Amino acid sequence: MAENRFDTGTSIRTPMARARGLGASGGGTEHFWQQRITAVANALLVFPFIIILAMTVGRPYEDAVAIMSHPLAAILSALFVISIAIHMRLGMQIVIEDYVHGKGAKVVALLANTFFVIAVSAASLYAILKIGLSPLL
């Protein structure tokens, strides 16, 4: 008699998953909430960031630096960059995990994604700090 692979008495969960009590969504829930929290933070921070940038448009360089060097403007800009960077990394991670099928290519793509986000956010934060701290130097 042939063995039924689809027997409802067998579980497809790994022994480790059974021991931890985690189902298929046990690892993805944290990622899901991180994306939602950064999305809300982005929505809240985008308006002050746009206002700050709009205040600098058409002004002489010294006036624009004075606006961006205000502590509130610098802090809000830095928070915006950090939130956007985290959200961007999480979003691209999902795309890579869903559409890159080779194991090696997936690892390389995930590493490249992380390093790209670090480079872009580090450059952005450096610029914000340089402008923000310019009156003190």
Q: 23-73 pLDDT, tens per residue?
A: 555 567 888 899 999 999 999 999 999 999 999 999 999 999 999 999 999
Question: Confidence band (pLDDT; 50, 70, 90) for 16?
Answer: low
- The domain 28-136 having CATH identifier 1.20.1300.10: the answer here is yes
Opening angle at CA 115, ends 111 and 121, nearest 5 = 145
Q: pTM of the full predicted structure?
A: 0.76
The DSSP symbol for 26 reads T
**Structure confidence at residue 24 (pLDDT):** 56
Mean pLDDT score of the chain, rounded to an integer? 87
